[in-house]
Structures are given as structure tokens and as C-alpha cells.
């Protein structure tokens, strides 16, 4: 049994695609996988959300979305704007523990960054990870703010005593600018370890079979893939 919390250094860095890639590789190994999204924001009910993307890309069938709010805001603010109750982190923790009893891997995909508020008391995905004793996989961007945002996220993780499962670049551009290429060494220095993966921008538009191959190339051995951080680092020089 293993629980892995997937968070990002911010919004739109590729968390959902990374979660789908981890799920796809675990399923390929024959593992039972469940995916939990405590809060989906920015979409009204009835519209395909992040879990629909995870299902489409990976083939996982056990998924749970605990709350949905239409406004594209952090979960607590989105719930307040909708006049709805916020997400209950104790309820989320209970569900994840129940799923962990029958699944080899439970993935929990956060909304936005590590410290986005889920309720009026300030509960975050970091608090959920601590309640579950789960490792945290951090998904970083590749733009000019990547190093700063990653440094802040990793500092917050360390301050809370959380265990970093790895650092993955979620949307590596096909033709990275010089600034983007130069971030790889800095990101690895911040994480104090080689990258755990880098998925190409646009991977989420692929079909399931092609996505599985990209996941295998783009995630490292600890996540079930064959990503070589040294070779990737050399390519970015």
C-alpha cells in the first residue's frame, strides 16, 4: 500500500498529466490504482474535469472527486463564492485510508499549489499529506519563475516535515528558451537530487497508448519509468 500526494508549484504546471502518467505506469505493472481529487475548481458540474483526463490517459477506473466549484479560485474561496460547504480534509483522509486498504497505489491530486486553502481554517494539501503520512511528488514548471516557485514549495515541504518523493517538470517545451534550459541544474540543486522526470508539453493531448510510452520515457525508475536525468541534463545544456 502506498499513498502519493501530487502537488504543483502553482497552477497549470501539468499536475494532472503527471498524475495520469504515474497511474498509467502503475497499472501497466498490474497494480490496483485509485485517484482522489479533493476539490475540482474552475468547472461547473457536468463538465469533464481533471479526473476525466486521468481516466482517459491512464485507464484507471477508481476515481473520486470530493467537491466541485465553478469559480477558478483556490478551493476555500471557490466554495465561499458558490455558497457551498468547503472540502473536509478529515473526510478526504478517511477516504484515502479506506482506498489504501484495497489499492496498491492511491494518488491524491491537489488543486494549484501546496498551500492553497481548502477551508476557512486554512487546511491545505500539505496538511492532508501529513495526516496520511504520505510522500509528496512536486510538479514544477519550466519558465522563468520555475526556480523561485520550486524553492518556495520545497521550503514549505521541509518546514512541515513532509517527505519529497521527487521533482518532475510537468510541461517541458519542445524548444525551450535558454532560461528554461538553465533551470534544470537549479531545480536539481533545490531538490538535492536528480529530477524524477520531465514530461513534454502537449502529452495530455495524446491517446492512451502513445501517452503510456511518453510516461515511460518521462518518469524515472522510482515512479516506474525509464527517465534518465543525466541524459536529460546533457540535452538541455
> For the purposes of burial, counting CB atoms within 10 Å of the CB of 229, is it exposed (0-12), middle (13-18) or buried (19 or more)?
middle
Whole-angstrom CA distances from 213 to 16, 69, 208 are 17, 33, 9
* Distance in angstroms (rounded) separating the CA atoms of residues 107 and 92: 12
Instruction: Let me know if 15 is a catalytic residue.
Output: no
What sections of 73-207 are H helices per DSSP?
A: 75-82, 89-100, 125-132, 146-159, 178-191
Catalytic residue among 7, 10, 14, 37: 37
Closest CA to 162 of 138, 146, 184: 138
Q: Residue 183 — left, alpha, or beta (φ > 0 → left; ψ -120 to 50 → alpha)?
A: alpha
Phi/psi for 39 (5° steps) reads -150, 130
Sheet holding 33-37, edge to edge: 62-65, 33-37, 105-113, 2-8, 135-140, 164-172, 197-200
Active site residues: 37
Amino acid at each position: 500500500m502506498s499513498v502519493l500526494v501530487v502537488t504543483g508549484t502553482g497552477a497549470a504546471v501539468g499536475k494532472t498529466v503527471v498524475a495520469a502518467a504515474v497511474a498509467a505506469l502503475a497499472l501497466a505493472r498490474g497494480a490496483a490504482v485509485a485517484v482522489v481529487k479533493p476539490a475540482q475548481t474552475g468547472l461547473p458540474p457536468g463538465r469533464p474535469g481533471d479526473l476525466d483526463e486521468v481516466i482517459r490517459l491512464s485507464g484507471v477506473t477508481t476515481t473520486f472527486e470530493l467537491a466541485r466549484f465553478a469559480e477558478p479560485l483556490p478551493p476555500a474561496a471557490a466554495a465561499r463564492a458558490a455558497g457551498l460547504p468547503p472540502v473536509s480534509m478529515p473526510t478526504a483522509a478517511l477516504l484515502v485510508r479506506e482506498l489504501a486498504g484495497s489499492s496498491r497505489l492511491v494518488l491524491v491530486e491537489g488543486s494549484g499549489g501546496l498551500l492553497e486553502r481548502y477551508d476557512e481554517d486554512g487546511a491545505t494539501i500539505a496538511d492532508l499529506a501529513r495526516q496520511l503520512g504520505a510522500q509528496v511528488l512536486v510538479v514544477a514548471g519550466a519558465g522563468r519563475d520555475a526556480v523561485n516557485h520550486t524553492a518556495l514549495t520545497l521550503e514549505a515541504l521541509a518546514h512541515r516535515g513532509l517527505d519529497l518523493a521527487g521533482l518532475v517538470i510537468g510541461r517541458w517545451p519542445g524548444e525551450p528558451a535558454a532560461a528554461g534550459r538553465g533551470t534544470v541544474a537549479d531545480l536539481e540543486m533545490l531538490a538535492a537530487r536528480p529530477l524524477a522526470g520531465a514530461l513534454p508539453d502537449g502529452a495530455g493531448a495524446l491517446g492512451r497508448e502513445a501517452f503510456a510510452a511518453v510516461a515511460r520515457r518521462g518518469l524515472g525508475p522510482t515512479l516506474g519509468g525509464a527517465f534518465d536525468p543525466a541524459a536529460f541534463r546533457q540535452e538541455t545544456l
